[in-house]
Chains A and B, each alone.
Chain A
Amino acid sequence: QLQLQESGPGLVKPSETLSLTCTVSGGSISSSSYYWGWIRQPPGKGLEWIGSIYYSGSTYYNPSLKSRVTISVDTSKNQFSLKLSSVTAADTAVYYCARQVGAIDYWGQGTLVTVSS
């Protein structure tokens, strides 16, 4: 059974860079035809797709976040990562990592990241 687990700081200061890692177990992140991505959900609000990386390394980002987002993969550790720069309070959210094969079929449990000084 595939499992995904987010990790990273729960508190980030405004203007700094948010960094999260997703560790994948029960399957290889190098498997073909899968995207590995990030979704977030501000408290009390809806889901927002942030971006994803294809197994080949191609990246796809939400146009509204593209200038601040970087998603990368470390196949040796079976992990992928999210970096979101110049954060503000509006970036406070639960961040989910996920596997996407068209539809998003596996989700991490989510991790709350608060942007505050």
Chain B
Amino acid sequence: SSELTQDPAVSVALGQTVRITCQGDSLRSYYASWYQQKPGQAPVLVIYGKNNRPSGIPDRFSGSSSGNTASLTITGAQAEDEADYYCNSRDSSGNSWVFGGGTKLTVL
């Protein structure tokens, strides 16, 4: 079982804002990173650290954290944002990393 918990599925209307959450005790001590994965493709890093976007990631993607919950927010969701999203962070021991179970985002 994963030490990071995500909702299995979330939907959002085109152009609206959606928040995808990730919960886990280790998030009180470590930042989460977020990955977007489309079918048949390798995951892509979209958010890391406090709220950093790699080059090429649209600014509609943002991250935040409070207590044991990290969040990925997409402001003005686009059709191309439909994908699986995974959070990742260190585990409670700090000696290994763990992924959340993933959230399937549907853009309606």
Number of B residues, CB within 8 Å of A: 25
Closest A residue to B84 using CB positions: A46
State in angstroms the CA–CA spacing of A109 and B40 once bound together.
9
Q: Which residue of A lies closest to B43 (CB)?
A: A107
Q: Are A103 and B96 in contact (CB under 8 A)?
A: no
A46 to B86, CA, bound (A): 8
B102 to A47, Cβ gap below 8 A? Answer: yes
Pairwise interchain contact A49-B101, C-beta atoms closer than 8 A: no
- Are the CB atoms of A60 and B95 closer together than 8 Å? yes
B58 interface hit (Cβ, 8 Å):
no
Q: Cβ of B61 < 8 Å from any Cβ of A? A: no
Interface size on A, residues (CB 8 A): 21
Contact (Cβ within 8 A) A46 B101: yes
A61: B residues at CB distance < 8 A: 96
Given A103-B48, A104-B35, A104-B88: A49 touches B42 (CB 8 Å cut-off): no
Chain A residue numbers with a CB within 8 Å of B54 are: 105
Asked if B33 contacts A103 (CB within 8 A), the reply is: yes
Q: By the criterion CB–CB under 8 Å, are B42 and A102 in contact?
A: no
Q: Does A108 contact B (CB under 8 A)?
A: yes
Are B86 and A104 in contact, CB atoms less than 8 angstroms apart?
no
B45 to chain A, nearest CB (A): 5
Contact with A along B47-66 (1 / 0, CB 8 A): 01100001000000000000
6 closest A-B pairs by CB: A103-B48, A103-B33, A107-B42, A46-B102, A47-B99, A49-B97
Binding site for A on B (CB under 8 A): 2, 31, 33, 35, 37, 42-45, 48-49, 54, 84, 86, 88, 91, 93, 95-102
Residue positions of A touching B, CB distance < 8 A? 39, 46-49, 51-52, 60-63, 96, 100, 102-105, 107-110
Provide a sorted-by-A list of 13 A–B residue pairs whose CB atoms are within 8 angstroms.
A46-B84, A47-B35, A49-B88, A61-B96, A62-B96, A102-B31, A102-B48, A103-B45, A103-B48, A104-B33, A107-B42, A107-B43, A110-B42
